[in-house]
Each structure stands twice: as structure tokens, then as C-alpha cells.
Amino acid sequence: MKKIILFIVLTLVVIIGVIIIYIYSGSYNVGQLGHHNAMARWALTNAKQESINKRLKGIKVPQMNDSAMFVMGFQHYNEMCSTCHGGPGVDPDELSKGLYPRPPKFYKSKDMPGPSEAFWIIKNGITMTAMPAFGPTHNDQKIWAITDFLLNKMNKMSPEEYQSWKNKYSKPDDPSN
């Protein structure tokens, strides 16, 4: 029994030692161009999905497809999100091409999150990616308006319609955002 415990302790010490040597060796590439290897990708993707799923309970989805909220949602989306995610007829900015993981393009995408997941992500952001948290600067009503526009309006707009909304509504009325 003592031998087994000694073996386990020594194994743990060796593993921790190897991890510490790896960290201090500088081998890990923290640059945006050094993409995750398969193991890191697996760990991060699963940790992200499970973490988000666990935090969705208790989020009450308000009435969606609420056309009264679309303009407000559009104004915030156009101002703060299209830089990275693009929109109808709008390519993401250059800065988004240097990001890893790449921000998904939402226009005409079939792989969209559900409303509570989108709301949670917009409010909280995603750590270790470029997805910012908008909760510190936007109340829940605004975040739901963005969510509703993103999930229920944007994909139905043509590039021309999106452009005409830009001409009409470009700046959010509320200076505090």
C-alpha cells in the first residue's frame, strides 16, 4: 500500500515538474498566429460549451421576434459587432482577420446559438477569445434587443435593406449606449 501511495505521489510530482518546466521554457506560443493543437482545442471547446450550458438555467427569454426592438438591436449590432462578425453586405474589418479563434460570420449562417446562449455570450463574453462582454456597458433590455436582431431579423435583410437602415438609424439615440 505504502509503495502505491509513494508511486502516485512521485508520478504527480514528475507531472507537475514537467508542466512547470514547459511553462518556463517559453515553448508555448502565445501569439494569435500560433493556433491551438488538437488537445488544447478539444479541452477549450468542451470547457467552453459545458461552462455556457451550465450558466443558462434561470435565464428568462422575453418575447422574441419583437419588431419594436429591431432598430435598437440593429444600432448596437452595427456599431459594436459588425467590425468582427460582419453583416448583410458588410465584411468584417481587417482586425478580425488577425484574431484566433476567428469571429464567426453570422449573416446567412445556419449555425446560430439559441436565444439564451446568445444573450449569455453577448453579456458575459468568452474568455481567452476576442469576444468581449457587453454586460458592463449595456443593460439586459439592450442585450435582448441585440440578440433578437441577430437571431430573428438580420438574416432576413438584404444588403440593400441593411445599408438603408445604416443611412436611417446609424447612431444609437442614447449617448450612454
Alpha helices in the chain (DSSP H): 2-25, 38-54, 67-80, 82-85, 94-97, 115-124, 140-148, 159-169
- Assess contact for 107 and 154: CB atoms under 8 A: yes
Q: Is 157 in the site for ligand HEC (CB under 6 A)?
A: no
Buried b (16+ CB within 10 A) or exposed e, 35-55: eeeeeeeeebeeebeeebeee
Q: Under rule CB under 6 A, which residues in 68-87 are in contact with ligand HEC? A: 76-77, 80-81, 83-85
Among 75, 87, 115, 121, binds ligand HEC (CB under 6 A): 121
Among 56, 90, 99, 133, binds ligand HEC (CB under 6 A): 99
**Beta carbon of residue 126, minimum distance to ligand HEC (angstroms, whole number):** 5
Amino acid at site 49: Q
DSSP labels, 30-48: -STTSPPPHHHHHHHHHHH
Q: Is 172 in the site for ligand HEC (CB under 6 A)?
A: no
Q: Which is nearer to ligand HEC, 76 or 153 (CB)?
A: 76
Residues within the interface to ligand HEC (CB under 6 A): 48, 76-77, 80-81, 83-85, 99, 101, 103-104, 111, 113, 118, 121-122, 126, 129-132, 134, 146, 150
